[in-house]
Amino acid sequence: MTLTEARRSVVVVGGGLAGISAAIELAESGLPVTLIEARPWLGGATCSFVRRGLIIDNGQHMFLRCHTAYREFLAKIGSVIGAPIQDRLDVPVLMASRQTRLRRSALPAPLHLVRAVASYRLLTIRQRAKVALVGASLLVGNVAAARGDDVSFGDWLGKLGQDESSRRLFWDLVGSAALNAAGDDANLGLATTLIREAILGGRDYADIGVPSTPLGALHGGPAADLLARLGAFVRLGVKVAAIQALPGGGYRLQLAGRDASADQAAGRELPDAITADAVVLAVPAWEAAALAPAQLSGPAARWSMFEPSPIVSLHVLYGSRVTRLPFAAAVCETGMAWIVDKTNAAGNFGGQYLAVALPAAHEYVDMPSSRLRAEFLPWLEDLFPATADADVEDFFVTRERRATISQVPGTQRLRPDQPAGMPGFALAGAWIDTGWPDTMEGAVRSGLAGADKVLYDLAAGARLAQAPARPQVPALRR
């Protein structure tokens, strides 16, 4: 009897990119899959809502050409057309008094960035030369292995002669975009690995993709359609309250927050508790720590030690066009912010809709919208003079308080591998150790890893069940 013939059931807890990726992989393997998500949508932190007739994304999510797992995920759910990638890395970098751009050439890596650094006008010629020396040092040595997990990217840069201005005006591009951390505070291993593999590793690796479709239509909707075609059962608005490992194998999941009318509409009733041969726990670290079976109480205690890093997004609707740039990085009071033109993605709009993402926004996450408006509208006017003559038709704020784990020194030792000694139980989520930062790429990779662990465990269990009984050896006569 094969694994698929055994029809082992699997429950995936969590409907973000990690849980969706795991559920698709498992369903494609022929297993009966139930995906349970507490929120009323799939996609996790990548979601959309409607305001003033426009479709608004809760946050701004970019990706790189080297994010192969995420791009394959988009291809699988049929969403590639909604996530175009620029032909060549080209990032406008704005300050009130100066502007420049970071644009790669067609030369092979690492020469593709020589001209970009040499012409980076926010730094002096001397500062640019020192930046190039840091890039060279990253190519010749394994910084992460040599320095361990306890050093910050900023401290390491300081020892290599990078002054505060260089760190803020250049290196913060890496920390803000990929690590949701200020460059000075970022984990050295994660930052340098990202630079070596994603920026210096290949000429086109760092070309940027910006979704042209609202995130809800890019991820959640197409993923739900694919899962339905694969025969998976998706249950939204249901929370898992506890997971228990059963003595004879398998797991029991206690449910909460069920809507009986939704059960009837779905044509299938979900009981108060369900059992499964395997579970993929694909929720944020803090939720995973509370839900993990008792056998994982020790490791789970460490998962709860992660600190969250917030992202605050400012949404500004102007009555007329104020810039031709599709997106830009911009220097603000606390570091680097990212500005994205969301006009077309949001729907028909006569003016222009700019979204400003403030990474690692610890000092802004609790600031009232009125204060954020008073602080950032003049800043945008300095960057885009045309805003002085444009009416502000709307200004509102979205806050992701736990957008990512805080990827600072000491983070890596907390990130878990797949749990050993727990057959059929797997973790997924961008916070686990995938070798990538807490990003969409890390989320998809974690989901695939969790599915692989479950498939391996179930196949091993099936092989054990099929093994012939050991022959009884007669006792020797004395």
Q: Output the CA–CA distances (angstroms, integers) from residue 167 to 173, 185, 195, 327, in the order listed.
A: 9, 11, 14, 22
268 and 416 both lie in a single domain: yes
- CATH code of the domain covering residue 365: 3.90.660.10
Burial grade of 367 (CB within 10 A; 0-12, 13-18, 19 or more): middle
Burial grade of 269 (CB within 10 A; 0-12, 13-18, 19 or more): exposed
- The verdict on residue 475 lying in a domain is no
* pLDDT score, position 102: 95
Instruction: Determine the structural domain holding residue 423 and report its residue range.
Output: 3-47+215-306+409-466
The residue among 206, 237, 261 that closes a domain is 206
- The verdict on residue 58 lying in a domain is no
* pLDDT score, position 137: 87
Residue pointed to by tokens 């460490």: 302
- Phi/psi at 96 (nearest 5 deg)? -60, -40
* pLDDT score, position 472: 43
* pLDDT score, position 462: 65
- The verdict on residue 71 lying in a domain is no
Q: 355 forms bridges with which residues in the sheet? A: 315, 340
The residue among 405, 428, 445 that closes a domain is 405
Radius of gyration, CA atoms only, the chain: 24
266 and 320 both lie in a single domain: no
* pLDDT score, position 125: 96
414 and 396 both lie in a single domain: no
Quote the CA–CA distance of 318 and 329 in Å, as a whole number: 19
* pLDDT score, position 269: 63
- The verdict on residue 89 lying in a domain is no
400 and 413 both lie in a single domain: no
* pLDDT score, position 478: 30
- The verdict on residue 64 lying in a domain is no
106 and 230 both lie in a single domain: no
135 and 202 both lie in a single domain: yes
- CATH code of the domain covering residue 38: 3.50.50.60
* pLDDT score, position 8: 83
316 and 302 both lie in a single domain: no
Tokens (6 digits) for 111: 């020469």
The residue among 206, 226, 252 that closes a domain is 206
432 and 297 both lie in a single domain: yes
Sheet holding 278-281, edge to edge: 233-236, 33-37, 10-13, 278-281, 425-427
> What's the domain count of the chain?
3
428 within 8 A of 447, measured Cβ to Cβ: yes
151 and 278 both lie in a single domain: no
* pLDDT score, position 193: 87
206 within 8 A of 66, measured Cβ to Cβ: yes
Q: Which residues in 434-470 are b (16+ Cβ under 10 Å) and which e?
A: bebbbbbbbbbbbbbbbbbbbbebbeebbeeeeeeee
Q: What is the pTM of this model?
A: 0.92
145 and 120 both lie in a single domain: yes
Question: Which residue ranges of the chain lie beneath pLDDT 50?
Answer: 1-6, 145, 467, 469-478
- The verdict on residue 421 lying in a domain is yes
* pLDDT score, position 470: 43
Quote the CA–CA distance of 363 and 359 in Å, as a whole number: 11
Q: Which of 390, 382, 389 is nearest to 351 (CA)?
A: 390
148 and 196 both lie in a single domain: yes
- The verdict on residue 190 lying in a domain is yes
418 and 400 both lie in a single domain: no
- The verdict on residue 478 lying in a domain is no
